[in-house]
Amino acid sequence: MRRVAEVAATFAPAFSVYLVLTAFSGEVGLWSLAELIGGAVVSFLVALASHRLLWERGGWRLLNPWRWAVFLFYLLGPFFLAMARANLDVAYRVITGRINPGIVRFNPGLKTDAGRTMLANSITLTPGTLTVDVDDETGDFYVHWINVRNVDPKPEEVCGNFPNWAKVVAE
């Protein structure tokens, strides 16, 4: 039963994305019959292959729509601002060649896979910082920082208040 629910919960979003991608392709609603059948088959195969990985360690939590609303706000607001600012900073470093790189370690105190993944991806997408590794047991982040200001930084020195957002959205 649990397995069926897992497959269904993987199939639904995969098929939705396929439907959005192929909208305006034909006459059955917005889609052509071939796209509907093809999409269903592909989504089902994807669901069979990946449902274990997706829900194994508490992924159900992420289906809460409130988390998605907060995530969207985070993406368009604080995250985009931080990324724009960091982009200009790296652009400056590209032109002047002033870099002071190193791999630093800090612990943002995130417990779940989803939270760590979200923070790691946020850090990597922000120019100037790049997550090289995350220790699965302790939750230590190893981040390549293009302009090291402190060899033993606190999380907020490297990635601002991203950890708090990751906590709210994914933990």
Partner 1 sequence: MTILMYVFLGIGAIFNGLGAVALHRFPDVYTRLHGATKCTTFGSIFSILAVVVYGVARGGDVGISMVIRAVLALVFLLLTNPTGSHALARAAHRAGIKPFKAVVDRLEEVGK
Segment holding 132, helix H or strand E: strand 129-134
- Our CB check for partner 1 shows the closer of 58 and 102 to be 102
Q: Which of 51, 144, 55, 161 is nearest to 100 (CA)?
A: 144
- Our CB check for partner 1 shows the closer of 114 and 123 to be 123
63 forms part of the interface with partner 1 (CB under 8 A): no
The C-alpha atoms of residue 97 and residue 163 are separated, in whole angstroms, by 30
Shortest Å, Cβ 80 to partner 1:
9
Piece of the chain touching partner 1 by CB under 8 A; list 8-16, 34-42, 94-102, 107-115: 94-102
Using CB under 8 A as the binding rule, the residues of this chain from 102 to 121 that contact partner 1 are: 102-105, 120-121
Shortest Å, Cβ 73 to partner 1:
15
In the DSSP assignment, the letter for residue 104 is E
90 forms part of the interface with partner 1 (CB under 8 A): yes
Q: Which of 134, 116, 125, 106 is nearest to 171 (CA)?
A: 116
Q: Which of 129, 124, 126, 111 is nearest to 166 (CA)?
A: 111
Q: Say how many CA atoms lie within 13 Å of 167 toward its Cβ.
A: 8
Binding site for partner 1 (CB under 8 A): 17, 20-21, 23-24, 83-84, 86-87, 90-91, 94-95, 97, 99-105, 120-128, 130-133, 135, 142, 144, 146, 148, 151
